[in-house]
C-alpha cells in the first residue's frame, strides 16, 4: 500500500515505525518528513501546510492512503482538498477540524450536545471581558483560552484577577494574531487529566468508533509537574486505576455524545479525535478536542496497538470501519521525551547527539543528520519508548536506555508515570483526590 504521511515529528516517526511493522507492506512517503523518516521511505520537499503542493503530488501519484499528523493542515482544509480528488484521507475535513481550530466552536458543540465541560463564556470585547473577570463567579484560577490555534501556547491559568486582566488584554490585542482576538474564559477544573483517543468514522448515515487506551501526558518541563508547560515531556498508558466501569462512564458521557453530535450537526468524522479530559470529583469532563493524534501519546499508543495499522486507518478513511474493539498488546507503555537546552522557551539546535543502542524504541522528534552524526533540531529531540508487563518494568527499561543518549543541555523527566504508580500502590482510584 502506498501511504503518504504528512508531518515530520515524533508522532509521525512513531506512526511510520508502526506502518513499517506491517503485516501489510507499505511504501511510505513523508511530507516533509525528516532525516529519520528517510530510513523508512521517501521524503518529499513539501511542507505540511503546502496544500497546493500536496494536492498536486497526490493528483499525480494517487497514493492509496494519506495520513495527516498535525492539526494545522486539517484546520486549513487538507482533508477536503485530497478527498475531493478521490483519495482516501485519514484526517478530518475543515468543518470537523474546527473542533480544535476554534475553542468557541468546540465549547458550543459540547454545550449543544450535553457533554459535561467547564462553564465558560466567549469574549471579543475588552470592556465586557474585564467586567466578567471582575465579577468572576468561580474559584481562581481563571482559564483564558485563545480561540484559534496558538502552537500550544494559547491557554493561560491566571492565578488572580490582575493576571487574568493582563492576559485578557494581551490576547485581545492580538498576542497570537487573529487566533486570540476571541477569548474563551473558563472555570478551572480540578482533577486528573487524561488523553482519550478515539478512532471516529462518522457520516450522517452511519457511525462507528473505537477507543484507544487512555493515556496520561506530562506537560510541565520539570519533575513533580513544575515549571512552564511544554508540548508534552512524556506519557504512559493505559491508566492502571481506570477500570472497565470508569471507561464505560467516559464512553457514555463524553465519547458517544461526541459521535452523535457530529452526526446531528452533519459533520463528517474520518480520523482520530483526541479528547482532553479532566476526571473531577463529579466524573469526567471534557477540556478540549484535538482532531489528530497526540504527541507524545502516539508514541505510547503505537507500542500498545496490536493491529495492522495501514488497513485500519484506510478503513476509517473509506468509511468502512466496523467499530470493533481494537486488538491491544498486554502491559503498559511509556515514552520519555529528551528535550533540547532552553526548551520550552526556545531550543538549542545543531548540538551533536551521542546516540548508542538503547534496548527500547528510539523515536526521532527533532533531529537532523549531518556529517554522519545526529544533531538536535527542535525542542523535543528524541523519545525513548518501551512496553513491559507492568509500569515499574517499563520505567526500568527506559531508565536502562537513558545512559545511551547524551548531549550538552539535554533535558529529561525521570518521573514519567511515577505519580500514577504511587496512586495505584496507595490503593487509590480515579475518584480519589489526585
Ligand atoms: P491546551 O494548550 O489547549 O492543550 O491546554 C493546555 C492545558 O491547559 C490542558 O492540558 C490542561 O492541563 C489545562 N486546561 C485547559 N482547560 C482547563 C480547565 N478548564 N481547567 C483546568 N485546566 C485546564
Ligand atoms: N500531548 C498533547 C498534544 O498532543 O496536544
For residues 101 and 71, the answer to whether their CB atoms sit within 8 Å is yes
- Residue 352 forms part of a structural domain: no
Contacts of 138 (CB under 8 A, 6+ apart): 119, 187, 188
From atom 3 of ligand 2, which residue's Cα is the shortest distance away? 294
For residue 135, being part of any structural domain is answered with yes
Q: Where is the domain boundary, 46, 79, 95?
A: 95
CA-based torsion, 23, 28, 31, 32: positive or negative: positive
Mean pLDDT for back-to-back runs of 10 residues, the chain (434 residues): 98 98 97 98 98 98 98 98 98 98 98 98 97 97 96 90 97 94 97 97 95 97 93 96 95 98 98 97 96 98 98 98 95 97 95 95 98 96 96 92 97 94 90 87
Q: Same domain for 14 and 86?
A: yes
CA of 29 to the centre of ligand 2 (A): 24
If asked whether residues 14 and 91 sit together in one domain, one would say yes
Domain limits for position 129:
125-181
Task: With respect to residue 370, please indicate whether it lies within any of the assigned structural domains.
Answer: no
CA of 146 to the centre of ligand 1 (A): 12
Cα(246) to ligand 1 centroid in Å equals 21
What pLDDT is attached to residue 179? 95
| Residue 9 CA, ligand 2 centroid: distance in Å | 12
What's the whole-model pTM score? 0.96
* End-of-domain residue from the set 95, 114, 139: 95
- Examine the domain organization and report whether 71 and 155 are in the same domain: no
Residue nearest (by alpha carbon) to ligand 2 atom 4: 294
Q: Is residue 108 part of a domain?
A: no
Give the CATH number for residue 147.
Answer: 3.30.1490.20
Q: Show the beta-strand stretches assigned E in 189-290.
A: 192-202, 207-211, 216-217, 220-222, 226-229, 234-237, 269-280, 283-290
Question: Which residue, of 139, 164, 181, is where some domain finishes?
Answer: 181
pLDDT at 19: 98
In the structure, which protein residues have their CB atom closer than 6 angstroms to any atom of ligand 1? 118, 143, 152, 155, 157, 186, 188-189, 193, 219, 276, 287-288
| Cβ count within 10 A of residue 103 | 27
Q: Which three cell numbers stand for residue 202?
A: 462518522
86 and 135 co-located in one domain: no
Domain of residue 29, CATH code: 3.40.50.20
76 in the same domain as 24? yes
Q: What is the pLDDT of residue 221?
A: 96
Measured by CA distance, the residue closest to atom 2 of ligand 2 is: 294
| Cβ-Cβ contacts under 8 Å for 61 (sequence gap 6 or more) | 2, 4, 29
Domain count, the chain: 2
Amino acid at each position: 500500500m502506498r501511504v503518504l504521511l504528512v508531518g515530520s515529528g515524533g508522532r509521525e516517526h512513531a506512526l511510520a515505525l508502526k506502518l513499517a511493522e506491517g503485516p501489510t507492506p507499505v511504501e511510505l512517503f513523508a511530507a516533509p518528513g525528516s532525516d529519520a523518516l528517510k530510513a523508512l521511505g521517501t521524503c518529499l520537499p513539501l511542507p505540511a501546510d503546502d496544500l497546493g503542493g500536496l494536492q498536486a503530488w497526490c493528483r499525480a501519484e494517487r497514493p492509496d492512503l494519506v495520513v495527516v499528523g498535525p492539526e494545522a493542515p486539517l484546520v486549513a482544509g487538507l482533508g477536503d482538498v485530497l478527498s475531493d480528488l478521490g483519495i482516501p484521507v485519514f484526517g478530518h475535513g475543515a468543518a470537523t477540524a474546527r473542533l480544535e481550530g476554534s475553542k468557541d466552536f468546540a465549547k458550543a458543540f459540547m454545550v449543544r450536545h450535553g457533554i459535561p465541560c467547564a462553564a465558560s463564556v466567549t469574549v471579543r470585547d475588552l470592556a465586557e471581558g474585564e467586567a466578567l473577570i471582575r465579577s468572576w463567579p468561580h474559584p481562581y484560577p481563571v482559564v483564558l483560552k485563545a480561540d484559534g490555534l496558538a502552537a500550544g501556547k494559547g491557554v493561560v491559568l491566571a492565578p488572580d484577577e490582575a493576571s487574568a486582566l493582563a492576559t485578557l488584554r494581551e490576547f485581545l490585542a492580538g498576542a497570537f494574531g487573529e487566533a486570540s482576538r476571541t477569548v474563551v474564559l473558563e472555570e478551572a477544573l480540578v482533577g486528573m487529566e487524561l488523553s482519550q483517543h478515539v478512532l471516529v468514522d462518522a457520516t450522517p448515515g452511519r457511525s462507528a468508533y473505537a477507543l484507544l487506551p487512555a493515556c496520561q501526558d506530562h506537560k510541565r518541563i520539570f519533575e513533580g509537574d513544575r515549571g512552564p508547560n511544554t508540548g508534552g515531556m512524556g506519557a504512559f498508558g493505559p491508566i492502571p486505576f481506570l477500570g472497565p466501569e470508569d471507561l464505560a462512564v467516559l464512553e457514555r458521557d463524553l465519547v458517544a455524545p461526541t459521535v452523535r453530535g457530529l452526526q446531528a450537526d452533519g459533520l463528517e468524522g474520518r480520523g482520530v479525535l483526541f479528547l482532553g479530559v479532566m476526571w473531577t470529583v463529579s466524573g469526567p469532563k471534557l477540556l478540549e478536542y484535538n482532531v489528530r493524534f497526540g504527541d507524545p501519546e502516539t508514541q505510547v499508543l503505537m507500542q500498545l496497538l496490536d493491529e495492522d495499522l495501514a488497513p485500519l486507518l484506510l478503513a476509517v478513511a473509506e468509511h468502512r470501519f466496523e467499530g470493533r474493539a481494537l486488538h491491544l498488546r498486554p502491559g503498559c507503555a511509556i515514552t520519555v521525551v529528551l528535550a533540547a537546552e532552553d526548551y520550552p522557551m526556545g531550543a538549542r539546535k545543531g548540538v551533536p547527539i551521542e546516540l548508542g543502542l538503547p534496548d527500547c524504541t528510539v523515536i526521532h522528534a527533532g533531529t537532523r543528520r549531518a556529517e554522519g552524526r545526529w544533531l538536535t533540531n527542535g525542542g523535543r529531540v528524541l523519545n525513548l519508548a518501551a512496553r513491559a508487563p507492568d509500569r515499574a518494568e517499563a520505567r526500568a527499561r527506559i531508565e536502562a536506555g537513558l545512559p545511551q543518549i547524551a548531549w550538552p543541555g539535554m533535558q529529561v523527566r525521570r518521573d514519567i508515570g511515577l505519580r500514577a504508580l504511587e496512586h495505584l500502590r496507595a490503593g487509590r482510584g480515579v475518584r480519589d483526590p489526585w
